[in-house]
Structure 1
Amino acid sequence: METRSDISTPGAYLDTPGETEWLIAAESGNYALGTASGTASRRYHGWLVVALPPPLGRVMVWPRVEEILRVDDVDTALGRAWWAPDVLAPADAGQLVSFARDPEPTWIIEAAGRTVRRRFRMSADGRQAFLLWDLVEGPHAELLVRPLLTWRSHHYQTRAPKIDPRVEIGFSGRVADATQHVYRDALSPVERARGYDHVEDLCAPMQLAFDLVADSESSAWLGVGVGESPATPPDRPESAPDPRDAYVIRHPSDDSPGIIAGYPWFTEWGRDTMIALPGLLLPHRAGVAAEVLRAWAARADRGLLPNQLRDLGDGPLATNTADAPLRFVRAVGELRAVAPERIDDIIRRGVDGILDGYAAGTDHGIHVDDDGLVAAGDDVHALTWMDAIAPGGPVTPRRGKPIDIAALWVEALAVGRALAEDLGGKERGSWCEQQAARARDGLLMRFVDPVTGDLLDVVDAHDPAEESPLRPNLLLALALDPSPFPRDVREHNLARVEARLLTPYGLRTLDPGHPDYVGRYGGDQATRDRAYHQGTVWPWLIGPYADAVRAVRGDDAVSALRTVFAPVLRELAERGAIHEVYDGDAPHRPGGCPAQAWSVAEVVRTIAPELAR
């Protein structure tokens, strides 16, 4: 596969490594994340991160390994590592010949006149991580390996490393040095660029020795809570893992399923779960989809859902999201379309509670107004998916009546009507249809500029400047069927989006001609948050865009989008993942999470149906 491999240039570390990243994740939530070169540059890079119950959350266990090839008492490192203040060493390390992600991460390295292959595997339960080495070409050599370990939250680095007693180490070789060492000043240059702690110390409990000879494999593994698990590596996978499966987890406490919003740092988010669920789980895992929806229905409170489930368990769950509950109802509709028998009373009550909560009014100023549209907003939160909060407050508060919330409300009412009529509830179904008709009228009467035909982003906005900017949120309204808008309005606004927001990696979040547009995503968190929804490109918006294209122009036009978004499809094929965001400005450098659930899910759902078998 083709990989990006710029790891030595300082400019490569703006928000994401200058090389390709790979991810292996287990259903337990345990994961490994690394780079094509094998050089760690994030605090999240490591061979084993384990997901433990709160308050521990996800714990980094095995971040690095030192590998030395010894020939005639001359040592050559197989790879390089970053050390503070700014050293990539050793300079005379072996040469990486190739890296392949599929069917397992594999590196071919030339060093000391030998060609060595390194491979990585993870056990099915994610409790064990295995490194395997074999000699591809050249005479016998000795391989010396030091696992460099820690025990910390994967979010924070430490200068006081330790090895937890639950950690187990196994190997096929011998112990060359049983003395424990501390490796100081390990540097994570990406975290430095992102404004976070970026230097840590690591424990090296021992040095292992292996005799590398032809037709023989050496291995070392590390595990947490392994128990009776075998000490031998699992079989080599026959094919690459399904890219959708990495985000679907099972909680160890009760075996309930969930969807991780993105690796490495996101947990479960209500909005992300509902957007990603159809593309990740339908139609092939409808039973799991129903379990996820039941779990979230049980968390509903006054028609609202939690915005985020925290892996560290710190504080009560907040319901500061106006779209997640409506997206829950939309996901229920998607489940009903492929597996209506999976809809049970828990899910139905969840839908009814959301519709009733919005109609009656609930927290954060969320209520249905006299014009049939949903109003939402308070002085503290940004309640739509454009939810970034900078030191000065919400960057895109969108307080008022956002067009995407109006469209989601119409869709939710259609699902409510269908569920009611499934059980013969004519009165409930009629109420849903009446509410939907009012909302459709409101969309037509309130959101269309009578002079230009442009669709507004927010009406009755607390800040009038938020009403008219061109943003991709109008795509949800363009996709409504039946549409509240005449055809010329739909064509005009779809053309506006394509002229100003469309890129090969997704859609910009703001017209580049707007004075608030930010074309580059990077820097510390405050700088990134100010760019997050002010021009930054999001691949998940390919889904709403494809839905709008289908509604306005038909299925054939959607098929043509594979050419438009060829770079994203290529990234999915090569990496098995899609980034969270890209720069608004060309060449659209990737940023954010290197593996985002809704990016994968929406691309699969709309333009890569061959994966949705």
Structure 2
Amino acid sequence: SYVLACDDLVHKDAVAPISPYLTEFRLENGLPVWVFRCGGNVIEKRTCMVHLQNTAYITYTLLEGEGGRLEVQPAMHVRSHDDSLAGPPEEQYRWTGVEDGFELYVSDDLPVLKLVWNCGECGFQMKTQRLDNLRYRIEQARGYDWEGSLWSPGGFTGELRPGKSASLTASTEDWEKVRALSPGAAFAAELERKRRLLRTAPPEAREGFPAELVLAADQFLITPIGRTADQVRAHAVGDEIRTVIAGYHWFTDWGRDTMISLEGLTLSTGRYREAEYILRSFGNYIHNGLIPNMFPEGRTSGLYHTADATLWFFHAIDRYLQATSDWETLEFLLPKMVDVAEWHLRGTDFGIYIDQNDGLMVQGQDGYQLTWMDAKVGDWVVTPRRGKAVELSALWYNALRLLVEWLEALEDTRTDRARYLEWANRCRDSFNRRFWNSEKGCLFDVVDT
């Protein structure tokens, strides 16, 4: 990853930010805006990234004052997000001037970073420098290695005059894409895209703080990269592949997180088509009655060690149907969900099965964390919760009742609805009897451990 204009970095011994001239920060249409006051000059800084591109634009505009000479020193870090904050050795940084701007090469397994500087009387002063002893505050808060450095090739310079802007473009795309949009056109395109998102949102979510939430939700809806077979399968029937990323930048997409958040990220924001794509995508991922727990970074196949993600899938489908009445999608998914129920009844992977005596769900296998309490340190599963966890049986009951409703709604005569209703009733009766802790007036977390 490349880090430029790192206003949030401070010296490891400092107690105040490096930028004492910062007077204001705000979001406009989901895009960040900084305001700096230096003497009689007020400078506004804005950033945006082009949708579906690895291209960032940073602009500086003089709002007040006579202006003068502006110098922008990019400080960069090239590394995997889980590598050392020291970065690669300084001698690996290769800075080259080309016709359209500049290129930074570090290694063959990383893309070349292209930079373009647009400003009145543009210039560049070559002065390589390593900025050491920097505190990465987010890493520090998470308990990670937090002291590191950045590398700078020098400084871009130019004249900044009233009402005028200077722009720095940074991209790992090819030069044709970098040249396709000017900084002004890139900002205009992103603002138009965000306006479209708000137009599709419910009326009460198109202004103020609710609108900011709609725009924030957009960051987590992605097209996964590298799953070629999945994309081909989706495109063959006229669909797109979509998923929810669990959290930048340490996590990819997780089944549990996707199904729990689908309602808020897509249905509450009016993005019903993308909700459909997500449900259909995960319907195609089902294996032995389970949807993936996660997709490891850099891999195209998922890991299935989860007992609850598939049950949350039932919940997400239910919310989707309530919002859209899309029975065609239910027709596509229903045979898969019946198969999910059958796998659970006869037993599936990781010791996940339904107890034939009381109808409650059992889970547990050495070395795996299968519920939402999924902390693991090395080979140590911190909270295994093996046995019958309270929320799993509740979710299983919900899944069975929904399955019965869907079979009735589609008038499916090939499947024995009464059988699933009987299992649901058995689970309900056992749940009320087994999980209630009358002594403490609450539910047991796990029984039959």
Matches of 2:441 and 2:112 in 1, distance apart? 64
Contact 2:223 / 2:243 at 8 angstroms: preserved in 1?
yes
Q: Which amino acid aligns with 2:359?
A: G
TM-score computed with the length of structure 1 as normaliser: 0.58
1:221 pairs with 162, 169, 186, which one?
Answer: 169
Partner of 2:58, secondary structure, is strand
Q: CA deviation at 1:181?
A: 1.4
The one-letter code matched in structure 2 to 1:159 is: P
Structure-1 residue corresponding to 2:45: 118
Q: What is the aligned partner in structure 1 of residue 425 from structure 2?
A: 437
State whether residues 182 and 201 of structure 1, in contact with CA within 8 Å, keep that contact through their aligned partners in structure 2: no
Q: Would you say the 8 A contact 2:10–2:17 is kept in 1? A: no
Post-superposition offset of 1:438: 0.6
Which residue is 1:82 aligned to?
Answer: 10
Measure how far apart 1:261 and its partner are.
1.1
Deviation by residue 1:109-135 (Cα, 9 ceiling, x = unmatched) = 122332221111222334321111122
Out of 375, 382, 387, which is 1:400 matched to?
A: 387
Contact 1:303–1:358 under 8 Å retained in 2: yes
- Aligned-residue Cα RMSD (Å) equals 2.6
Matching residue of 1:323:
308
Whole-angstrom distance in 2 between the partners of 1:285 and 1:182: 46
Does 1:247 pair with 2:220?
Answer: yes
Query: What is the alpha-carbon distance in structure 1 between the residues aligned to residue 22 and residue 242 of structure 2?
Result: 39
- Provide the C-alpha distance between the structure 2 equivalents of 1:452 and 1:221, rounded to a whole number of angstroms: 61
Greater fraction helix: 2
CA distance in 2, matches of 1:342, 1:242: 29
Specify the alignment match of 1:176 in structure 2.
123
Determine if the alignment matches structure 1 residue 64 to structure 2 residue 7.
Answer: no
- Quote the Cα distance in structure 2 between the aligned partners of 1:334 and 1:135: 48
Are residues 1:133 and 2:120 paired?
no
State the distance in 1 between where 2:17 and 2:246 align. 37
| Alignment of structure 1 residues 146-161 onto 2, 5 Å | 146-156=73-83, 157=85, 158-160=87-89
SS in 2 for 1:64: coil
Could you tell me the TM-score, scaled by structure 2's length?
Answer: 0.78
- Structure 2: any 5+ residue segments left out of the alignment? 94-103, 106-110, 196-210, 232-239
Task: Look up the match of 1:360.
Answer: 346
Residue 350 of structure 1 aligns to a residue whose secondary structure is helix
Structure 1 residue 347 corresponds to structure 2 residue 333? yes
Instruction: Name the SS of the counterpart of 2:276 in structure 1.
Output: helix
Alpha-carbon deviations, 1:424-464, whole Å to 9, x = none? 23442212111111110111111123445422111112xxx
Match of 2:241 among 256, 266, 288: 256
Q: Which amino acid aligns with 2:338?
A: D
The count of corresponding residues between Structure 1 and Structure 2 is 386
Alignment of 1:173-212 (within 5 A): 173=119, 174-179=121-126, 181-185=128-132, 186-192=134-140, 194-212=142-160
Q: Structure 1 CA distance, aligned partners of 2:290 and 2:9?
A: 47
1:456 is aligned to 2:409? no
Q: In the alignment, residue 155 of structure 2 is paired with which amino acid?
A: Q
| 8 Å Cα contact 1:448-1:454 kept in structure 2 | yes
> Which residue of 2 is the match for residue 96 of structure 1?
22
Which amino acid is the alignment partner of residue 339 of structure 2?
G
CA distance in 1, matches of 2:123, 2:147: 28
Q: Show structure 1 runs of 4+ deviating over 6 A.
A: 88-91
Map Cα deviations across residues 392-444 of structure 1 (whole Å, 9 max, x no partner): 72222211111110110011111211222233234422121111111101111
1:445-485 Cα shifts (integer Å, max 9, x gaps):
11123445422111112xxxxxxxxxxxxxxxxxxxxxxxx
Decide whether the 8 Å contact of 1:290 with 1:342 is kept in 2: no
Q: 1:333-388, CA deviations, whole angstroms, 9 ceiling, x for partnerless residues?
A: 22222333342554223312211111001112111111010011122222111111
2:409 maps to which of 410, 422, 425: 422
Measured after TM superposition, the shift of residue 82 of structure 1 is 2.5
Contact 1:381 / 1:394 at 8 angstroms: preserved in 2? yes
Whose RCO is larger (CA < 8 A, sep 6+)? 1
Taking a change above 3 Å as real, the CA distance of residues 317 and 122 of structure 1, as seen in their structure-2 partners, is closer
Task: Determine helix, strand or coil for the equivalent of 1:101.
Answer: strand
